[in-house]
Structure 1
Amino acid sequence: MRQIRITKIFSFETGHALYGYDGKCRNVHGHSYKLSVTVIGTPISDNDNVKFGMVIDFGDLKKIVKEEIVDVFDHATVFNKNTPHVELAKELSDRGHSVLLVDYQPTSEMMVIDFSEKIKKRLPKNIMLHSLRLQETDSSYAEWFAGDN
């Protein structure tokens, strides 16, 4: 049977700041992100399987992405933990805000790399992550493709 790609799209709101950046994005600000997750695999051919004809149940893919990405990043503020932003992060956290400290500059490019690793670890062995698209604004996005990595 042939390989088929399926895609599910997720939305979440996240704030961030880019330490050391020479433009407006050095300030804390937020985006309404859209994450498109595309996986590839062979549809289940066993007539007795309740998921017959599916590459992966969209609900199963949703569970993985919600647990690993959406539930973690939604309405959180992300800072690179290796910058002075950790002081601001501590202040926000002490005041009850959701703060994530990551090992990278929280650009769309670096976030999509992080997301790819988290999602790949959770997919069934017969399903491969094909690509991710993280849309930051209506006209700007970063893409990750398995074939490039």
Structure 2
Amino acid sequence: MSNIRITKQFSFETGHALYGYDGKCKNVHGHSYRLFVTVIGKPITDSTNVKYGMVIDFGDLKKIVKEDIVEVFDHATVFNKNTPHLELAKELSARDHNVLLVDYQPTSEMMVIDFAKKIKKRLPENIKLHSLKLQETTSSYAEWYASDN
């Protein structure tokens, strides 16, 4: 049976600030992110299986990505936990804002690496993460490919 890639798209709104950056993105701002998740595997050949013909049920993939990424990052503000933004993060949290402190600079590049690690842990053994595309704006995105890593 052939390997087949399937892709599911997700969207979420997230704010961030890039501490130490020399441009406008040092300020707190947000993006309407679009995440494209592509997995690869062989379609199920057992005709008695309710998922016959599927690589993975799109609903199962949606559950993984929603729980580990979308529900966590949507309408959150992300800061590197090792920066002076901690004071701002504490203030926002005290005012009941959703703040995420991560151990990396919250660029699209670093976020997509984080997302790949999270998704790979949850996929069934026979399904592999092929690639991720995290679109920050209509003209800017970061991509992660298993073959490069």
Bucket of the pairwise TM-score, normalised by the shorter protein: over 0.9
1:113 and 2:113 aligned:
yes
- Shift in Å at residue 56 of structure 1? 0.1
The CA deviation string for residues 22-55 of structure 1, in whole angstroms up to 9 with x for no partner, is 0000000000000000000000000000000000
Distance (whole Å) between structure 2 residues aligned to residue 98 and residue 92 of structure 1: 8
Paired position in structure 2 for 1:51: 51
**Matching of residues 15-34 of structure 1 within 5 Å:** 15-34=15-34
Paired position in structure 1 for 2:86: 86
Distance (whole Å) between structure 2 residues aligned to residue 83 and residue 112 of structure 1: 20
Distance (whole Å) between structure 2 residues aligned to residue 97 and residue 127 of structure 1: 36
- Shift in Å at residue 74 of structure 1? 0.1
RMSD (Å) for aligned C-alpha atoms: 0.2
1:144 and 2:144 aligned:
yes
Q: Secondary structure at the match of 1:21?
A: coil
Q: Secondary structure at the match of 1:12?
A: strand
Distance (whole Å) between structure 1 residues aligned to residue 122 and residue 115 of structure 2: 11
- Shift in Å at residue 125 of structure 1? 0.2
**Structure 1 vs Structure 2: percent identity of aligned residues?**
83
Runs ≥4 residues deviating over 3 A: none
Distance (whole Å) between structure 2 residues aligned to residue 135 and residue 108 of structure 1: 8
Distance (whole Å) between structure 2 residues aligned to residue 57 and residue 34 of structure 1: 20
The CA deviation string for residues 99-146 of structure 1, in whole angstroms up to 9 with x for no partner, is 000000000000000000000000000000000000000000000000
- One-letter amino acid of the counterpart of residue 143, structure 1: E
Q: Secondary structure at the match of 1:144?
A: strand
Distance (whole Å) between structure 2 residues aligned to residue 146 and residue 72 of structure 1: 23
The CA deviation string for residues 47-70 of structure 1, in whole angstroms up to 9 with x for no partner, is 000000000000000000000000
Paired position in structure 2 for 1:72: 72
TM-score (norm. length: structure 1): 1.00
TM-score (norm. length: structure 2): 1.00
- One-letter amino acid of the counterpart of residue 108, structure 1: S
Q: Which runs of 5+ in 2 are unaligned?
A: none
Distance (whole Å) between structure 2 residues aligned to residue 48 and residue 95 of structure 1: 53
